[in-house]
Structure 1
C-alpha cells in the first residue's frame, strides 16, 4: 500500500494540511507541537476511525476554537489500483472510492473488510503493534493476544479459520453441555437438565412404587374395617335392646327426684322470706330511732352554730373597726407631714431651670472672654515724676490710682494736665468688641442673679436644688395621703367608723339573745349550762358542747349508714325471692307433682337396678357407639384415600420406559463431551505446534535484525509463545532481564527489531506503510545508521513515513517535507 496524498482539516493543531507523499523513506519535519504526532494520528484515524461514533475521544481531536469536526482524506494505491478514503466526522460519513471505476463503499463493515484486505492488518491494535512506531510506545505490545490470534490464522489445512476461535467454540459448547454439573446455575446445560430430569423420574418411580404398595395395604385395612363395623353393629343392637327397658325407669325416677327437689326448694324459700321480712322490720325501727336522736342533736347544733357565727361576725367587725381606726390615725399623720412639707416649700425660691442654664452659660462666656482679653491686651507702666498726677482712663473707665502699672485690653487714655493727652489703642480691633461683649455678659448675669437674690451661678443652682427637693417632698407626702384615702374623702372614713360602731352594738345584742337560746336548747341534752350573763364563759362552753355533739352526730350518721346498708341488703334478697302468695301456690303445685311422679314410678313395676349397674350399661352402649363411629370414620378416610390413588402397575412400567430413554440421551451427551474433549486436546496441541513454528520463523527474522543493529553482540535471540522477545547473554550465561539489564537504546533496538520481524507474519504478505515518530532518539549514531540501513532495505517493499523534529535524518531520506 502506497499513500499518495493526505488532506486534513480541523484536526488537532492541523487546520488545513494537504501533503503529497512518495515511495521510499519520506522525512516529515516539524518543531515540537508542529503537527507531526497529529498527522501520524490522522493516518491511524483515517484507516480505523468511525465518524458515526459518539465516544468522547472523537471530540478530543477537534481543533481548538473550531465549531465543526474534522475531515481526513487519503489517496493511496494497492495491487495496481488507486483508492480514495474520506472520513468526514462533521457529516458522520465514511467513503472508500475505487478511482478507476468510481465504485464507492459507504458501509462501515465493508470498508473495514476492504482496508483489512489491502493492509493485511484488520484492526487498529495490529496496526499499532507492528507498523506504527514511536519512542514512547516502542517497548509496548498492546493486546498480544490479538497478535497470537492473527498468527493462528496461518494454521495449515484450515485456511481462514482461527484455531483459538475453534477452541473457544469447543470450550463454549463443552461449557454449555456441562453447565451446572459442578455447582448451581440459573440456566443449567442439557447434561445437568437430563441428570435432574433422571433424578426426578427416578424419584417419581419410587413415589409410584411406594404409592402402589401403600394402596395395597389400605385395601386390606379397608376390608378388615368393614368386617369390624358389621360385628359392632350386631353387638350394639343387643346392648341397646337390653338398655331400652331401663330408659323409662330412669325417666320416671328423674321426674320423681326433680319434683321432690323443687318442693324442698320452695319450702326453703318461704322460710327465708319470712326471716328476711322480720329482720327488715327490726332494722327499719332502729333507723327511725337513730333519725329521731339525730334530729334532736341537729337542733341544738344549729342553735349553737347561729350563736357561734354571730360571735365570729362580732369579732370580725371589731377587727375591721380597729383597722379603720388605724387607717384614720395614719391619714392624720400624713396630713401633718404634708402641711410641714408645704411650709418648707413656701420658704424656698422658685428658680426657673432655664435661668440656671443661662447663668452658667453667661459665667462660662465671661470666663472665656476674660481669658482671651488677657492674652490679647497690653501693659502700661505709669510713673509720675511730679506731684501732679495724670488722669488715666483704662478701657473707658477712670483709674483711681494712676501711679501704677495698668493692664488694658482696648485702650488707655492718659491726660497730663496742661501738657498733653495721650491715647494708646490696641491694634486688634476685635479686642474692644470682646471687651464690650464681656461687660454686657457681666451686666446680664448681674441682672439675672439680682432677680433671685443670688451672688453667683452656683448659689442660684443651690437655690433651685433646694426648691426642687422641697417640691418633691410635697408631692411625695401628697401621694402618700392620696394612697391612704384610696380615692375617698376623709368624711367617708369617719362615716364608716360610726357605721361600725352601730353594727357592733347590734351584733352584741343579737349575740346575747342567741346565747340564751343556745343554752336553753342545750339543757335538753341533760347537761348543766353556765349563766348567760358571762358571755365568754358561755361561748367557750357552747364551743365544747358543739364539738361533742358534732362528734356524736357523725357517729349516729355512720351507725345509720351501716343499718341502712343492712336493710338494703335484706330488701335486695327479698326482691330476689318470688312473692309469698306465688311461693305458696308453687309449693302446692310441687307437692302435687311429687305425688304424680311417685305413682307413675310405682306403676312401672320394674326390677330394682343399682345406679352403678345402670351407669355401666349406659357406658357399654356409649362405648360401642363411639367405637362404631371411629370405625366408620376410618372406613370413610380409607375410601377417600383409595379414591385419590393416581398410580397403578401400568404407570410404573411407563415411568421405567421413560427413565431408560432419558438414560440413553444422557449417555449420548456424555459421549459428545468425551469427543469434544479429545478434539480440544488435539486442536490445542496443533495450535501450539503451529504457533511455535511461526514464532520460530519470526524469531529468526528478529535475530537477523537485532544482530544487524548490535553487530552480533547477542547471537541467541528468540520470541516466546506470548510474543515477548527473549535475549540470551553469553557473558551472563543466562537470559537477561530486558527491563533492567539492557540499556534504553538497546531495549528500543530489540523492540524495533521485534516489530519489524512481526510485520510479514501479521500482515500475511501485504505491504502496509510504516509510520515512525522519532523512534531512534536513544540510538547512538552508529546503530542509528544501521537502523536506517534496515529501513532502506524495507523501503523497497514498504512506504516509510518518518516524523522528526531535527535534521539528523535528512541524509537517509528519499523525500523531505517540512510542515
Structure 2
C-alpha cells in the first residue's frame, strides 16, 4: 500500500491543507516553520492515533486558532483498490472505507489489523523506530529494539495476523503458573495443583478424624467426666491467679498515675509560689516608683538650660566684680574696652593695606575701610565705656537673676529629695532600673501564666489534690501494708501463664472428647470421604499431565523464537551486504548484526570487526543505519509495500554521500513509498516535489 493523499482541518498551524503523494518518492520542501513537521505529525496521527482517546499527545496537535480538535482524511491505494481512512478527533469518529469493494471498518482494532494486512503497519512505536526517521537521528534505531524484536518474533506465526510469539509465550506461562503456583514457594493465590494437594490433605485429615472418632467413641465416654472435674479445679486456680494479677496491674497503674499527679502538683505549687514572689516584688517596685513619680515631670532640657545659664551669669558677675574692684584700686571713674569685632576688622585692614602696594584696587578699598573704621572710633561705635555705677547696677541685676535660678534649681532638688544634679541623675537611673526589673517580672509572670489567669493555678492545684485523693483511695489497706513488687508480679505472671496453658490444654482435650461423643460420623461418612479423595486424586493426575504438555509447548516455542531471531539477523545481514558496498564506495562489505540490533563491520585497516559508533564518522554511521532500517523493514513487510517518512535525515551528508543515498532510495522506491521532508533544494531531483 501507499499513501495517496492526506487532508487535514484544524491541525496545528493549518486551518485546511490537502497534499497528494506519488507511490515512489516525494520531496516535501519548505522553509523552517512552514509546517513540514506538522504534516509529518498529521501522517502519523492519521495512521496510528485513536480519536476515541483523550491525551496530551492528541490535544497538542489541535489548531492554534481554534479550541476544536482536528479531522484527518488519509487516502490509501492497495493493489489498485481505493481506500479512505477518516478520523475526526472532535467527534471521536473513525471509518476505513474501501471504495472499490465497499468494505467498511469503524473500530480502531479492526482498522489496525487491516493496515497490518495491506501495509505491514503494526504500531506507532515500531513505525517510529524503523520507518520514521527524525532529523539527524538515523542511528537511533537501537532505541526501539524491544518493538523490533517483538515484530521479528511475530514472524514465527504462519497467519497473516499481527500475532506476537511473546503473547503466546505469556499465555502458556500464565497457564503453567495457574497450575503450579504455590508448589515451589509461598503464594497468596495457590494454583490448581497446590489447591488439589490442599484439598487432598484436608480430606485425608477428615478421613483420619472420622476413623479415629469411630474407634475412640466408646473409650472417651468414661474419660469425659474426669476431664470436666479436673477442668473445674484448674479454672478456679487460674481465676484466682488472674484476679490477683489484674489487681496488681491496677495498683501499678494507680501508682504511676499518682507519681504523675504529684509531679504535676509540685510544678503547680512551684509556679504558684513563683507568681506570689513576682507579685510581692512587683508591689515593692510599684511603691518605690510611686515615691519617685515626680521624676517623670522633670523637664531635663529646661533644667540643663537653667544650669548652663546660671553658670554663665555667675561667670559674668565675677568678671564685673573684678573690673569694679580694679577701678576702685586704680581710682578711675571709667574704663574703655575695644570691641573684639573692631580688633578683627583692624587686622583685616592691615592685611589689605599690605596687599594695596601690589594692586591699586585693593589699596583704594583699604583707604575706604580705614576711614569707616576711624569714623566708628570717633563716634564710639567700636568701644565700650564702663563706669563704677554701671558695673554696680549690672552686678545687682545679675545677682537677682542668679538668685531666681538658684531658687528654681533648689526647688527641683527639694521636690525629688536630692541635693545635687548628680544625685538626681542617680535617682532617675534607679527609677529606670525599677521599670526594667518590673518588665522582667511581668515577662516571667506571662511565661508562667501562658495566657491564663492566676485563679486558674488555684483551681488546678485544687483539682490535682482531688485527683490524688481519688487515686489514693483506690489503694487497699492490704496493698498499703504490703505493696506488690515488680519482681513478685513477674513471678505471678509466669505462674498465671502456666495455669492458662494447662487450662487451654484441658479445654482442647475436653472439646476433642465432646466432639467425639457428639459426633454424627458413620461408616457412610467414611466411604463418602474416600470417594471424594479418589476424585481429587484423578483431578491432580489430569492437571499434572496438562502441566507437562504446556511446559513442552513453551520450551518448543522458546526454542523456535531463538531460531527465528537468529534467522532474522541472518536475513538482515544479507540485505545489508547487498547495499552497504554501494553506499560506502566498497569500503565496507561484511557486517554482523548483534542481539540488540546494533552491528559490527569488517575493517580492512584494523583487520577485524569494529563497532561503527566507536571507530567511524557520524556520516558513515548514518549510512550503515540507513541500510539497516530498510533491511529490517524488508524483513518485517514480507513483500508488502509500505510508507517510509524521512525528516531531513541527510543534513550531515556531504554531496557524495547524498548521491549514494539518492541512488539507494531510487532502487528501493519500488518496494517502499518514500516521503522526504526538507528545507533544502539539494533534493529537488530525487522525486516529486511538494512545496509548502
TM-score by length of structure 1 reads 0.49
Distance 2:198 2:413 in 1: 118
* 1:673 aligns to 2:674 (yes or no): no
For residues 584-603 of structure 1, the aligned pairs below 5 Å read none
Change (3 A) 1:206 1:137: farther
Deviation per residue, 1:752-802 (Å, 9 max, x gap)? 111111223322332112211222334444343222112111223433211
Q: Aligned residue for 1:463?
A: 403
Unpaired segments ≥5 residues, structure 2: 228-305, 317-338, 347-370, 418-509
Contact 1:95–1:104 (CA under 8 A) maintained in structure 2: yes
Contact 1:85–1:95 (CA under 8 A) maintained in structure 2: yes
Q: Aligned residue for 1:199?
A: 201
Contact 1:74–1:86 (CA under 8 A) maintained in structure 2: yes
Deviation per residue, 1:299-335 (Å, 9 max, x gap)? xxxxxxxxxxxxxxxxxxxxxxxxxxxxxxxxxxxxx
* 1:49 aligns to 2:49 (yes or no): yes
For residues 546-557 of structure 1, the aligned pairs below 5 Å read none
Distance 1:803 1:118 in 2: 24
| SS at structure 1 position matched to 2:187 | coil
Contact 1:42–1:72 (CA under 8 A) maintained in structure 2: yes
Distance 1:165 1:469 in 2: 112
* Bigger mean CA deviation after superposition, 145-154 or 173-182: 145-154
Q: Aligned residue for 1:121?
A: 121
Distance 1:204 1:709 in 2: 79
- Counterpart selection for 1:765 from 628, 639, 664: 639
For residues 772-787 of structure 1, the aligned pairs below 5 Å read 772-787=646-661
Post-superposition offset of 1:376: 10
Unpaired segments ≥5 residues, structure 1: 226-352, 364-369, 378-403, 413-431, 478-635
Q: Aligned residue for 2:576?
A: 702
Distance 2:196 2:662 in 1: 67
Q: Aligned residue for 2:177?
A: 175
Contact 1:152–1:163 (CA under 8 A) maintained in structure 2: yes
Post-superposition offset of 1:734: 4.6
Q: Aligned residue for 1:745?
A: 619
Change (3 A) 1:788 1:468: closer
Deviation per residue, 1:464-495 (Å, 9 max, x gap)? 24555787899999xxxxxxxxxxxxxxxxxx
Distance 2:373 2:139 in 1: 117
Q: Aligned residue for 1:150?
A: 151
Q: Aligned residue for 1:133?
A: 133
Q: Aligned residue for 1:215?
A: 217
| SS at structure 1 position matched to 2:642 | coil
Distance 1:75 1:92 in 2: 19
Post-superposition offset of 1:374: 9.2
Task: Compare CA radii of gyration and give the structure with the larger one.
Answer: 1
Post-superposition offset of 1:98: 4.6
Post-superposition offset of 1:741: 3.1
* 1:809 aligns to 2:676 (yes or no): no
Distance 2:5 2:515 in 1: 93
| SS at structure 1 position matched to 2:682 | coil
Change (3 A) 1:140 1:215: same
Change (3 A) 1:372 1:59: farther
For residues 375-774 of structure 1, the aligned pairs below 5 Å read 407-408=374-375, 454-455=394-395, 458-465=398-405, 467-468=407-408, 643-720=517-594, 723-729=597-603, 732=606, 734-774=608-648
- Counterpart selection for 1:186 from 185, 188, 199: 188
Post-superposition offset of 1:817: 3.1
Change (3 A) 1:97 1:682: closer
Aligned positions, number = 479
Change (3 A) 1:472 1:169: closer
Distance 1:637 1:692 in 2: 69
Q: Aligned residue for 2:672?
A: 798
| SS at structure 1 position matched to 2:571 | helix
Q: Aligned residue for 2:476?
A: none
Q: Aligned residue for 2:426?
A: none
Distance 1:26 1:798 in 2: 11
Change (3 A) 1:809 1:476: closer
Distance 1:638 1:42 in 2: 78
Change (3 A) 1:141 1:17: farther
Contact 1:6–1:73 (CA under 8 A) maintained in structure 2: yes
Q: Aligned residue for 1:21?
A: 21
Change (3 A) 1:66 1:786: same
Change (3 A) 1:817 1:670: same
Distance 2:214 2:182 in 1: 34
Deviation per residue, 1:424-456 (Å, 9 max, x gap)? xxxxxxxx9xx9xx99xx9xxx99x99x96537
Distance 1:147 1:475 in 2: 107
| SS at structure 2 position matched to 1:140 | helix
Post-superposition offset of 1:197: 0.8
Change (3 A) 1:141 1:174: same
Distance 1:790 1:638 in 2: 89
Deviation per residue, 1:566-625 (Å, 9 max, x gap)? xxxxxxxxxxxxxxxxxxxxxxxxxxxxxxxxxxxxxxxxxxxxxxxxxxxxxxxxxxxx
Change (3 A) 1:727 1:214: farther
Distance 2:181 2:90 in 1: 48
Contact 1:717–1:728 (CA under 8 A) maintained in structure 2: yes
* 1:5 aligns to 2:5 (yes or no): yes
Distance 1:115 1:676 in 2: 33
Q: Aligned residue for 1:523?
A: none
Deviation per residue, 1:699-729 (Å, 9 max, x gap)? 3222212232234444432445664445345
Change (3 A) 1:197 1:475: closer
Change (3 A) 1:109 1:461: same
Distance 1:794 1:80 in 2: 20
Distance 2:158 2:117 in 1: 21
| SS at structure 2 position matched to 1:167 | helix
